[in-house]
Chain A
């Protein structure tokens, strides 16, 4: 079943010009995935938010200051050459996280994780979180927990799963109706459906009929300058975070604003002008 079908490659594109920084994606994610909360969540290092919204600024003084927001789920890296060797998967000694070649989704299995946190060290996006404490809900509040996602225990790492349980449910629905296809609308992450600005688009990057493919227009060939990079967008407004690392994230970002796109990586002086023409430029169309 895994090998006799064309593999999906689920991915996301987030329009940073539409994102209002309202935080709805983050709360929808917490509510969907049974993410707990503590008395003090202001220490963001130990605050578990699978989807976190970062504030970006162009660092210019008043009144030329500009601000944008960048929601950051797990990037579901394909690793160098998009072969499935994601930074976190490669270092896990317990096989508590693996790369699903059928979906492109990086898993995290709490019952297998023993909390060494190598994956957190390896993740360049700070997308992984450690449970320093057991989750505790105020009396009665555990009644709103969803059975589709296991509550975690202390001592394990957790992260965004692209709402994999929704994929499982969509598959069950397809099986029940005797179909093998999962319609685009049937598998959408909780952040995507919640975003009031419509800034998040989710779907199969391998499927040309999916909106996410049409926006990203992923390049099927490796980047000639850096063969580790695969699936680079042929849309000049679209970029990925730290793309040159070759982690090949499946989360793409989009902005009209050059200063925003430039914040997707660290560039040396003058470097941006050299790379920006190649990265997502007409030469790749």
Chain B
């Protein structure tokens, strides 16, 4: 239907009030258009903000709950479990074998999580398939030694107050990139309130520039 036909038809239907074309108060089409606009806008806007993140990320529960507070109380600090090896590489999440320094296949406490650990992993000599919130992509080389030893940073600057968590929050994985949501940040715009809220390349660069006066060369953090 052409534009002219449209107008003609419109006029013929409501002849009494037919005014000049473009009279706004008579243009219910525009009014409808506005309503449609608003409805569509709201739907898309809201789904963009609320539904999209839900669709983009898949949630995974950790194999069982890990109480960092309890473990920090028992061991004293982060380094007891997450330490630098002799060659300067970072040990990351402890292997089941390291847990056996304290644990046995008999639970020490009475939580069901410890029972899962003892029964499913210690007894079967299996590694716990933890989801790692801070996992960077394969192309990234990150040296804990450089940041802890040379720059004297604390764990919290990048990892947040994880030592104060009693429960393991679900791990959220970006379905497209396969990365942890922590890299981009909880905020879907990636807005950062704390230093640990986002760990994209630019966040590294900003800090490096501030602390060392230089963003660093590509190979400093890439492999």
Contacts and interface: CB of A to CB of B under 8 A. Distances in A.
Instruction: Report whether chain A binds chain B.
Output: yes
Interface of A: 1-3, 95-103, 105, 107, 109-112, 148-151, 161, 164-165, 168-169, 171-178
B219 A164 contact: yes
A174 B139 contact: no
B131 to A, nearest CB: 19
B84 interface: yes
A188 to B, nearest CB: 15
Contacts of B23: none
B219 A174 contact: no
Contacts of A151: 138
B144 to A, nearest CB: 8
B219 A105 contact: yes
Interface of B: 84-89, 137-139, 141, 143, 145-146, 149-150, 212-214, 216-220, 222-223
A231 to B, nearest CB: 20
A177 B54 CA distance: 45
A175 B143 CA distance: 10
Given A111-B139, A165-B141, A173 B87 contact: yes
Contacts of A175: 88, 143, 145-146, 149-150
A96 B219 CA distance: 10
A157 to B, nearest CB: 13
A151 to B, nearest CB: 8
Given A1-B150, A148-B223, A168-B223, A176 B218 contact: no
A171 B217 CA distance: 15
A165 B220 CA distance: 9
B89 A150 contact: no
Among all A-B residue pairs, the 10 with the closest Cβ atoms: A172-B88, A176-B88, A175-B145, A100-B217, A107-B219, A107-B218, A173-B88, A172-B145, A175-B149, A111-B139
7 contacts: A2-B216, A110-B139, A172-B88, A175-B145, A175-B150, A176-B86, A176-B145
A195 B84 CA distance: 32
A149 B214 contact: no
B223 A165 contact: yes
Contacts of A3: 212-214
Contacts of B84: 176
Contacts of B220: 100
B151 to A, nearest CB: 8
Would you call the interface of chain A mostly helix, strand, loop, or mixed?
loop
A183 to B, nearest CB: 13
A138 B104 CA distance: 40
Contacts of A174: 88
B218 to A, nearest CB: 4
B223 A149 contact: yes
A172 B146 contact: yes
Nearest to A152: B139
Most B CB contacts (10 A, CB to CB) among A99, A150, A151, A165 go to: A150
Contact of B218 (A2, A98, A148, A165): A98
Nearest to A149: B223
Contacts of A99: 217
Contact of B137 (A102, A111, A161): A111
Contact of A169 (B87, B137, B212, B213): B87
Contacts of A97: 218
Nearest to B150: A175
A161 B143 contact: no
A150 B219 CA distance: 12
Nearest to B90: A172
A175 B214 CA distance: 19
Contacts of B143: 168, 171-172, 175
Given A175-B143, A176-B86, A2 B222 contact: no
A197 B187 CA distance: 57
Given A168-B143, A176-B145, A100 B219 contact: yes
B223 A150 contact: yes
